Structure 1
Amino acid sequence: EGVNIRGKIKLDSCFQNTQPPNDHSPISRKEFVRFLLATPTKSELRCQGLNFSGADLSRLDLRYINFKMANLSRCNLTQANLCCSNLERADLSGANLDSGNLQGVKMLCSNAEGASLRGCNFEDPSGLKANLEGANLKGVDMEGSQMTGINLRVATLKNAKLKNCNLRGATLAGTDLENCDLSGCDLQEANLRGSNVKGAIFEEMLTPLHMSQSVR
């Protein structure tokens, strides 16, 4: 059964001196780590709508946590394990997720504008697809990320850096790729139908981009 972090804080004596339930100030790394250690590994941790703005959550095991609509802006999430976590409509603007594990992540309609996701892994060996449909990824740096089969349908990637990314079989239909740097990418079998590729850079492609894949 799911566990609610604020409810746990009210019940657990070790959190008696922490913020009251109605305090919307950001949760600190120390507070969150103590809570993680007190939570069974198989429990779904519900952090929906909570404020982690600017927190250092780097290198933590955050698998399966529900961060839906949470404020993770400017968070340090480098090398964090976010496998199968729910980040739908979460605010990740300006966050650093470099080298993070994002296998099977749900980021529908999330806001990651200006975030850094260099060298991230979105590929799940079990075949579970990472879903970033409708996400705001303006100006993100995703260079060198593994994104086979990722769903980026109607996402906004204007001015994003996607150099040397593996986008094989990715869904990019209706995606805004204006001024996006896709040089060195593998777009084999990717679906770019209806996408906006105005000003996009396709240099040094590993495989030729067929017209059947591209904008109509």
Structure 2
Amino acid sequence: MLEKIITSSQTLRDNMPLTRRDIVDALIKSPYTYELRFQGVNLSGADLSKLDLRYINFKYANMQHCKLLGSNLSWCCLERADLSHAILDGAQLLGVKSLCANMEGAQLRNCNFEDPAGSRANMEGVNLKGANLEGSDMGGVNLRVATLKNANLQNCDLRAAVLAGADLENCDLSGSDLHEANLRGANLKDAAFELMLTPLHMSQTIR
């Protein structure tokens, strides 16, 4: 009977998401140069705001509804991670790898994706449907074939960004800088381009 209770308790614990305390403990015990591996872990709903999370592997992790306000996620691997409805306002995302990540409905206002050293964030195939990226610095970001339907990209810096084949239907790009951005093959149906800093050239959108 006791063994059954212990096993049941362990199973329950295994299914529970990690907490901020769990993450902080791991960070404290690891040297700065050590690349922590949180691949496939459950972090749903955790408050990881303002933490230094650089270089961590969050591939396939469940980060739904996570609070990551002001966190530093630069050079993290978020490939295929679920960040749907997460709050990342003001986060540092330099050189982040988030191929095919799910960021549907996420808040990413005033985030910084642009690395002055030239390391480009790779968000190819990411799902940003209905996400809010207003005011974010996204120069050079790779958003090829990304889903940005109904997303808010007002006043974003998207200079030289790769948006080829992206779904920008009903996306609000008002006031954004798309100088030298690649929009070839993108779905621009009902997208808003008012008050653009630089005019959009047809050569940017033709296949």
Tell me the TM-score normalised to structure 1 length: 0.90
- 2:149 maps to amino acid: K
Equivalent in the alignment of 1:194: 185
- Aligned-residue sequence identity (percent) comes to 64
Correspondence for 2:153: 162
- 1:183 corresponds to which residue? 174
Q: Are positions 1:49 and 2:40 aligned together?
A: yes
1:82, 1:104 → 2: CA distance? Answer: 9
Q: Is the 8 A contact 1:197 1:215 kept in 2?
A: no
Deviation of the 1:21 alpha carbon:
10
The one-letter amino acid paired with 1:71 is N
Alpha-carbon distance between aligned partners in 2 of 1:25 and 1:145, rounded to the nearest angstrom: 33
Q: Would you say how many aligned residue pairs link Structure 1 and Structure 2?
A: 199
Runs of 4 or more consecutive aligned structure 1 residues displaced over 3 Å after TM superposition: 18-22
In the alignment, is the contact (CA less than 8 A) between 1:196 and 1:215 conserved in 2? no
1:91 and 2:82 aligned: yes
Q: Which one-letter code corresponds to 2:36 in the other structure?
A: L
> Which is worse superposed, 29-38 or 137-146?
29-38
SS of match in other structure, 1:213: helix
Unaligned runs of 5+ in 2: 1-8
Counterparts of 1:146 and 1:104, CA distance in 2? 12
Where does 1:31-180 land on structure 2 (aligned, <5 Å)?
Answer: 31-180=22-171
- TM-superposed deviation, 1:20: 6.9
CA drift of 1:63 comes to 0.2
Partner of 1:7: none
1:210 correspondence with 2:198: no
Instruction: Provide closer, same or farther for how the CA distance between residues 41 and 208 of structure 1 changes in structure 2, counting only shifts above 3 A.
Output: same
> How far apart in 2 are the matches of 1:22 and 1:29?
15
Q: CA deviation at 1:24?
A: 2.3
Q: CA deviation at 1:30?
A: 1.0
5+ residue gaps, structure 1, are 1-17
User: In structure 1, how many angstroms separate the alpha carbons of the residues matched to 2:12 and 2:118?
Assistant: 39
Distance 1:19-1:27 versus aligned 2 partners, 3 A rule: farther
Structure 2: how far apart are the matches of 1:170 and 1:130?
10
- Contact 1:143/1:162 (CA < 8 Å) preserved in 2? yes
Amino acid at match of 1:167: L
Equivalent in the alignment of 2:6: none
In structure 2, C-alpha distance between the alignment counterparts of 1:108 and 1:22, rounded to whole Å: 30
Letter in 2 for 1:47: F
**In structure 2, C-alpha distance between the alignment counterparts of 1:152 and 1:22, rounded to whole Å:** 37
Q: C-alpha separation between the residues in 1 aligned to 2:146 and 2:126?
A: 5
RMSD of aligned C-alpha atoms?
1.4
d(CA) in 1 for partners of 2:39 and 2:174? 37
In structure 1, distance between residues paired with 2:71 and 2:99: 19
Determine helix, strand or coil for the equivalent of 1:46. coil
